[in-house]
Amino acid sequence: MKIIILISVVVLIFLYLPVPWIYSKILVMSLRRKLAQKPSLVLTFDDGPGDTLTLSILDILKKHNAKATFFLLGKNIEGREEVVKQIAEQGHEIGTHGFDHLNYWRVNPLKSISDINKGIQEINKALDKKNKTYPFRPPFGKLNFISLLNLCLRKFPIIYWTCDIGDTHKNIQTNNKIEISSSVVLAHDYERKNQNTARMVLGTIDKLLREAKQKDLPVLTVSQFIRGSGS
């Protein structure tokens, strides 16, 4: 009996963090392979909606006639339902980033699943919808085995990124140094206290969209890119 418990514990330890970690690396590799096959610019924004920053990003996207994917954080939606509606009405894709930006390696598995569900509920409430699935961006890029299994069984596309513009890093580089050709780009649209950071995000997005136009690179939402459609 003891040996069975011991084996079960060892198997669980092996599955719980290493499997999702290996799976995340495979997903990133497959994004890179796809980007090499079909060069594209895929802009994704996490942790929003913010107030002014999200609206300014929408203005830039509109100016370039480009669509992006917003991985909304459930706890930031209340009071910003109009911003969520504007994102959807302007034809951008809405994804979920959970509710409370929890590190799923550090919370119990049931809590991670309820966080995913709460994030979806907030989006549905804001948009007056009953969708059960949205593309999912794991907070901190981390999943535990139970949350991974839950997402896979419910057919949630799990979306990582290949290029981080660095707008949440301690030492923020100026956007002039960011060289991106074909990428799934990670940026953040939550409201910033530091206006320099907000300006860096806007400047970088504008620069990437101008470069994409010069290089004739299609700008796609996550789902357009994954399905291989859009232009």
The stretch among 11-19, 42-50, 205-213, 215-223 that binds Zn ion (CB under 5 A) is: 42-50
* Cβ-proximal residue to Zn ion, closest one: 46
Select 71 or 212, whichever has its Cβ closest to Zn ion.
Answer: 71
Interface with Zn ion (CB under 5 A), residue from 35, 40, 41, 46 = 46
Distance in Å, CB of 11 to Zn ion, minimum: 31
Select 47 or 115, whichever has its Cβ closest to Zn ion.
Answer: 47
Distance in Å, CB of 50 to Zn ion, minimum: 13
Task: Please tell me the chain's helix, strand, coil percentages from 3-state DSSP, rounded to the nearest 5.
Answer: 50, 10, 35
Q: Indicate the DSSP class of residue 1.
A: -
Select 113 or 187, whichever has its Cβ closest to Zn ion.
Answer: 187
> With contacts defined by CB under 5 A, how many residues of the chain interact with Zn ion?
2
Q: H or E segment at 222?
A: helix 222-227
Helices (H), 50-97: 52-63, 81-89
Which residues, including other chains, have CB under 8 Å from residue 21's CB and lie 6 or more apart? none
CA separation for the pair 71, 106 (Å, rounded): 21
| 47 belongs to the binding site for Zn ion (CB under 5 A) | yes
Select 161 or 225, whichever has its Cβ closest to Zn ion.
Answer: 161
Distance in Å, CB of 38 to Zn ion, minimum: 26
Distance in Å, CB of 89 to Zn ion, minimum: 24
Q: How far is CA 82 from the centre of its chain?
A: 20
Q: Which residue has the tokens 């994917």?
A: 69
Distance in Å, CB of 46 to Zn ion, minimum: 4
CA distances from 131 to 79, 134, 146, 149, 207 (A): 21, 8, 22, 19, 34
The stretch among 46-54, 60-68, 85-93, 115-123 that binds Zn ion (CB under 5 A) is: 46-54
Residues that bind Zn ion (CB under 5 A): 46-47
